[in-house]
Chains A and B, each alone.
Chain A
Amino acid sequence: MIRAVAWCRAEDCGAVLADRPPVFQAAPRNHAETIALIQRPVKYIGRMTDECRVCLCAAHLALRAVEWNDAREIGLLAAGDAGFLQANQNYFRDYVANGRSMGRGNLFIYTLPTSTLGEVAIALNLTGPAMHLHDDTQPLAALVQHADQFIADGEADGMLVLWSDLHAAVCLAIDGAGAQSSAIQMPKGSTPKQMAHDLAAMARPA
């Protein structure tokens, strides 16, 4: 069951919940504002990619919306290849430009599809399963189905599902509570950017 959907993009961020008013606020404009939003120290925020930062903010907002605490085993699933494809090019271009004998470790570590998940897990202390999982036709719906299976298998108490591109991220908080609990429908949108736009329109105060 989807309990909350959060988003973060250049303009704004927030969350839509099943049984409470939505959250809407301006997006953090720099590292200090990002840390203020996350409300806990975030190591190495300066080296993170833009995609990593919007994912971190969206994941934090989703967690805050559902009020899951650290005692729960929370997992992470993610889809979207724009971030690591950009990171791959950034790393190799820098390596070639600097003589093709040594790369930069701080660029190399973001070249994996799971790099963003690793940073989000560290920053938010999420210790459940973490995988990048991209369905070739319906990325978000497939992630939700797999998230449900992780919970049913006992691998996690709850799952955060991230869908992102370079500058926008959407995060769904999913748990295994019964249908009697409040849930929200899968948001519409063919890209993370479009979905974030729609969520902002839904949550923005009149």
Chain B
Amino acid sequence: MNVVIAAGDVASAYGWGLDALWTGLFSGKTPICSTSRFVDRGFVSDLMALVPDLQTDGDESRSMAMLRRLLSPLAGKLDPLTPLILATTVGEIEYVERSVLNDARELAESARPLVLLEKIKHLLALRGPALFLSSACASSSATLTRAASMIHHEQAQSVLVVTCDAVSEFVYSGFSTLLSLCDGPARPFDAARSGLTLGEGAAWALLASDQSPLTKGWKTAIAGWGNTTDAVHMTAPHRQASGLTRAITKACAMANCTPQDIAFIAAHGTATVFSDAMELLALRATMDRPKPIFSIKGGTGHTLAAAGLMQILVAARALSLGVVPPTVGLCAADPAAAGWVHTMPIELTTGRAALSTNSGFGGVNTAVILSGRQPA
């Protein structure tokens, strides 16, 4: 049995829908820009990648506003018992901000992820099991692996994965404090990269068995995955990349694929000096030769929990169309990335699978292998 991506969509700084994200990446232009949202705060940067035309309703959070618009077309169209998994790092963190700023402790309760989960169930009229999953910046890719496992184990016939994270003062101040932000738009895998740009986004994917009527005409399967922990540092990656290397090795073994089968890589590519270096080490340790890599974060910014699913949906389309998007923001590749990352689209000639990688605070790593449908 294959577990396949039956459908999915995304909201990003490029706009609403996967088409907007895909076209935006191929334009080579970044929507990252200066904003006055946190003016006078003295942060390292005022750059961010915000979802355009986002209307919040009353005291609604930005995360819920993204999800309300993105998920509305699904309302009433899913089996009400479809399991739901929500992936987020901070969810509706505005309620914590407001509770502190207004000295209204009761507001903080509204920031509980289970409250957001309940809102999504209500929006989509779902009555089945629901989970909140967080694995730092690997959250949504890890969620995809959980959903695939549930279907493999016949715990469910289909699972809806939903992810979101918004740019907030809470998160922006934290990353500014950790000196993780760069003063220009993020430049993943660039020799002159100096940090990440925060972005916001939301995405969903419906996973199902290829035996399901939901998946007629499917194009991409979740063929294998691996989740590991570095167990060395709370915020810094493992200098020898052993955790991500193990995750990739596990994913390839589960997918029964060799490095030769991997056509390209959808990388985490945050544009921080050490995270990109660690990722390149892991890829060099596991691949047989340079493969085309792309990172979407030079355009979308780092969307935290949402990053993994967003890049996986792009990778699924790239696998289907046989062309890999360029890495927006890249000018001159880091010497370690030369031959891997590109400023222009790359047409695929070989390989039947794609690798997607994410890592995050706490030393978490997730690798996912996508495979395309083979001709009958």
Contacts and interface: CB of A to CB of B under 8 A. Distances in A.
A117 B362 contact: yes
Given A101-B42, A117-B362, A152-B153, A112 B170 contact: no
Contact of B170 (A75, A92, A119, A152): A92
Interface stretch (B8-16, B92-100, B340-348): B92-100
B82 interface: no
B27 to A, nearest CB: 33
Contact of A145 (B133, B155, B226): B155
Interface stretch (B105-113, B210-218, B319-327): B105-113
A133 B364 CA distance: 14
B287 interface: no
Given A89-B96, A109-B235, A131 B133 contact: yes
A167 interface: no
Interface in A104-134: 104-105, 108-109, 111-115, 117-119, 121-122, 124-134
Nearest to A116: B362
A81 B113 contact: yes
12 contacts: A75-B227, A81-B112, A81-B113, A85-B108, A92-B96, A118-B362, A121-B229, A121-B362, A132-B135, A136-B117, A136-B131, A146-B149
Secondary structure at the A interface, as helix, strand, loop or mixed, is mixed
Contacts of B355: none
B93 A130 contact: no
Interface of A: 44, 75-76, 81, 85, 88-89, 91-93, 95-96, 100-105, 108-109, 111-115, 117-119, 121-122, 124-137, 142, 145-146, 149-150, 152-155
Nearest to A102: B177
A186 B190 CA distance: 51
B205 interface: no
A125 B363 CA distance: 11
A102 B97 CA distance: 15
Contacts of A132: 132-135
B89 interface: yes
Interface in B230-253: 230-235, 243, 246, 250, 253
B290 to A, nearest CB: 28
Contacts of B250: 154-155
Contacts of B101: 96
Contacts of B90: 88, 111-112
